[in-house]
Amino acid sequence: MPKFEVELKKVVDDSYEIEIGYGLADQVVEDLKNGLVGNIHKFAIITDSNVEPLYARQLEQKLLDAGYQTGVFEFPAGEKSKTRQTKAMIEDAMLERGYRRDCCILAVGGGVVTDLAGFIAGTYGRGVPFINYATSLLAAADASVGGKTAVDTPLATNLIGLINQPQKVYLDLESWKTLPKREIYSGLAETIKHACLADAEFFDYLEAHMDDILALDQATCEHIAEKNCSIKYHVVMKDERETGLREVLNLGHTVGRAVETVSEYRLLHGEAVSIGLVAEVKLSQQLGYMTQEQVERVIALLKRAKLPTEIPYYIDREKLVKKLYTDKKVRDGKLRFVLQDGIGAIVCFGENIYATPISEETARGIIMQL
């Protein structure tokens, strides 16, 4: 039988800029005028019900004033909205309003918005460009950088999605001033995670400046925003597709994501990750990778950031243990954990291997301690 070779070699440059500043809406318009997304003149602003009146409408008006076609697509705020159903609802609304392949998506909001909008951009019209305009500390620290987009399902978190890089990311630190205090605390969990996995000096800085961070001191906020981006960039640059090293960014998330889901999202993402970090450091100590003093420092810093360090009373711990098996790091039905090597480093278990199998019995024992 004849055969035909379909040669599709690709050379792709997915580089993009992250701009950190205050009140960046005008800069978005200026960048678009200067060709950030080429000749596209039609924009879909995807946002949630909390951010829509604060930032999305303002940005919409600036784009309209500049002569662009623009519409806002809003969904209810919260992790419960990060679903296939919400994705379909927004896609249908965009189709009804005449959006086709000649459009660009602007994600304006926190981590749920950037995750969902980036996924939509990757599949809408088989792929349209998108821009992230992050309005929360959590999004600035984690969700808006790195290109991982996804939705949640009742059976798993973040397993339905794709890697899709934005054209540019804007971190508007002015928006942090409008966040509820609880959202600030939640965002700090990912910041502390970054220090734990990659930068002992940054951990020291967080210990020394936590009061300034909570007071939203300008210089301190700029520094932590830059450090978060730098730490995540140096991981993602080496492993964009999560073939090994990028797993380190899941530090604290094996238990954290399970806690978040089993709590039925009564806990914010960062609050659940904080509990997951406590589980992780206790496991790291049990396996000989951390000292008691180091464990106490991590827990103390989480507490200073006003984050929970114990599993809430209303969570069924056996249900939580079962939920661990929906974690994306599970291989061949075995739980796998990323573990700290002291403070500022991750244990490497072999060439490009940064998570290790942990028995259900061991994981249950740690959870019962929290």
pLDDT, tens digit, 9 for 90 and up, residues 189-198: 999 999 999 9
pLDDT by residue (tens digit) across 35-62?
999 999 999 999 999 999 999 999 999 9
| Per-residue confidence (pLDDT) for residue 8, from 0 to 100 | 78
| Per-residue confidence (pLDDT) for residue 143, from 0 to 100 | 66
128, 157, 177 - which closes a domain: 177
Give the C-alpha separation, 199 to 221, whole Å.
17
Asked whether 72 and 56 are in contact (CB, 8 A), the reply is yes
- The answer on pLDDT for 146 being more than 80 is no
Mark whether 158 and 184 lie in a shared domain. Answer: no
- The answer on pLDDT for 239 being more than 70 is no
Task: Indicate whether this model's pTM tops 0.95.
Answer: no
Mean pLDDT of the chain: 94
Residue 202 lies in a domain: yes
CATH of residue 29: 3.40.50.1970
Mark whether 213 and 336 lie in a shared domain. Answer: yes
Pairing of strands 148-153, 17-21: unpaired
Residue 10 lies in a domain: no
- The answer on pLDDT for 204 being more than 90 is yes
Mark whether 347 and 249 lie in a shared domain. Answer: yes
Residue 60 lies in a domain: yes
CATH of residue 212: 1.20.1090.10
- The answer on pLDDT for 11 being more than 80 is no
